[in-house]
């Protein structure tokens, strides 16, 4: 069996700690352990956490906390994993069937599409239409299901665009899945990181054949805890737990303890309030930066998450652009080619405000340099303003 690398993760894993400014990350600036503990009143003592194997599907207390976020779920409806990556992996592993394709939302976080290819499966795309504000072509989904797709992959809110499905679109997807006996695998890692005041709805509770994945990495600003979960029907979750015996066996005991703090009723609202404040404030910076560049950039504002897909008007491929930015500007972005969409870049706007401003200034400078290279310093076009992200 051959192996196809996960292109975006290879790019980030190789370079994200080797640049001055990282706009490739899709979460907000992470909390420290001290900050997390302070949200609990500073009374938490982690020194007595045992470093043996923890309960392998997550402690009962942690699974109860996760279940409480999903009305109708019980502890047995939850399996805890090492981050969202393992959650997606074991869910995919459960739903994949030899000879059956999957209906895959595109663009998407490309982990599961890559797994499908690596395991010799088939994927039938249904696209989010940029001209429609990154909303789905449900006729394509219906066609994929008629062709025999066994499960539907969605990332909601979407990665890379940050746009969420509407309740009507979700109901339509459920109706199509039900009519064709298909499962829904919904990666909901950006729920809780909303731009607006209303929570993004979940697929949980809309349909019996659904697996919802999530983690502490994005909305909670705790990617280093490496803790995620799957919520689903109890009999299926039992099988997912058995699959983790082949992968990581158990979540780290320290991570389980930190997750119990983060998801406690007293702490969780404080974390999400912090996340939403960062996203709303920094999205204003990004929107002003886009607007002041005289049509060079365009984007659909996200509904949730500290990410957006930004289209640029310049004669350079996104892979070359990303490499030049890395080498010449010590700035990391995700090239749109990683999602199959050229002349775009995924920008993460979750860093501290001053870092974001400096990074956007550096990005504007880079495009000004590209314009000069293409048209000459004395070109008649109005120069793009730089240093205007504040």
DSSP 298: E
DSSP 208: S
Residue 302 confidence (pLDDT): 98
Q: C-alpha angle 7/8/10, rounded to 5°?
A: 65
Asked whether the beta carbons of 365 and 328 are under 8 A apart, the reply is: no
In whole angstroms, give the CA distance from residue 103 to residue 101. 7
DSSP 382: P
DSSP annotation string for 323-381: HHHHHHH-EE-EEGGGGT-TTEEEEE--S-HHHHHHHHHHHHHHHHHHHHHHH-TT-SS
Residue 221 confidence (pLDDT): 98
Residue 385 confidence (pLDDT): 38
- Environment class of 45 (CB within 10 Å of its CB; exposed 0-12, middle 13-18, buried 19+): exposed
Beta-ladder partners of 390 = none
Look up the pTM and report it. 0.94
Beta-ladder partners of 104 = 125, 153
In whole angstroms, give the CA distance from residue 136 to residue 133. 9
User: Which regions of the chain are under pLDDT 70?
Assistant: 372-390
Residue 43 confidence (pLDDT): 80
In whole angstroms, give the CA distance from residue 301 to residue 162. 8
Q: Which residue has the tokens 């088939």?
A: 122
Cα separations (Å) of 28 from 23, 120, 222, 263, 353? 11, 35, 9, 17, 11
Q: Which residue has the tokens 């500073």?
A: 42
Please report the sign of the dihedral spanned by the C-alpha atoms of residue 191, residue 86, residue 25, residue 253: positive
Domains observed in the chain = 7-29+269-375 (3.90.1150.10), 44-266 (3.40.640.10)
DSSP annotation string for 103-137: EEEES--SHHHHHHHHTT--EEEEEEEGGGTSEE-
Tokens encoding 175:
């109706």
């Amino acid at each position: 069996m051959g192996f196809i690398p996960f292109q975006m993760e290879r790019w980030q894993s190789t370079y994200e700690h080797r640049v001055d400014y990282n706009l490739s990350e899709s979460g907000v600036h992470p909390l420290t352990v001290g900050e997390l503990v302070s949200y609990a009143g500073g009374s938490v003592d982690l020194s007595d956490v045992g470093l043996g194997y923890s309960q392998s599907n997550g402690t009962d207390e942690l699974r109860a906390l996760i279940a409480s976020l999903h009305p109708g779920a019980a502890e047995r409806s939850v399996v805890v994993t090492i981050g969202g990556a393992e959650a997606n992996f074991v869910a995919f592993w459960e739903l994949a069937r030899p000879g059956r394709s999957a209906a895959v939302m595109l663009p998407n976080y490309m982990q599961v599409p890559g797994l499908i290819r690596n395991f010799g499966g088939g994927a039938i795309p249904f696209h989010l239409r940029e001209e429609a504000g990154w909303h789905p072509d449900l006729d394509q989904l219906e066609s994929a299901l008629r062709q025999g797709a066994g499960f539907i992959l969605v990332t909601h809110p979407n990665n890379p665009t940050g746009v969420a499905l509407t309740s009507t679109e979700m109901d339509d997807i459920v109706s199509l899945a039900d009519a064709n006996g298909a499962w829904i695998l919904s990666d909901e890692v950006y729920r809780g990181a909303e731009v607006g005041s209303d929570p993004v709805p979940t697929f949980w509770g809309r349909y019996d054949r659904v697996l919802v994945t999530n983690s502490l990495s994005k909305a909670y600003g705790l990617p280093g805890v490496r803790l995620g979960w799957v919520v689903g029907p109890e009999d299926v979750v039992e099988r997912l737990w058995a699959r983790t015996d082949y992968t990581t066996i158990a979540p780290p005991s320290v991570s389980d303890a930190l997750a119990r703090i983060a998801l406690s009723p007293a702490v969780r609202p404080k974390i999400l309030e912090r996340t939403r404040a960062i996203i709303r404030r920094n999205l204003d910076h990004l929107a002003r930066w886009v607007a002041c560049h005289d049509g060079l950039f365009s984007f659909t504002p996200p509904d949730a998450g500290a990410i957006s897909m930004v289209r640029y008007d310049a004669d350079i491929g996104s892979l070359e652009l990303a490499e030049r930015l890395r080498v010449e500007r010590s700035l990391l972005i995700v090239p749109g080619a990683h999602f199959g969409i050229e002349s775009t870049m995924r920008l993460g706007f979750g860093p501290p405000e001053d870092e974001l401003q400096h990074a956007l200034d550096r990005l504007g400078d880079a495009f000004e340099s590209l314009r000069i290279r293409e048209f000459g310093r004395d070109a008649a076009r109005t120069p793009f303003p730089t240093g205007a992200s504040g």
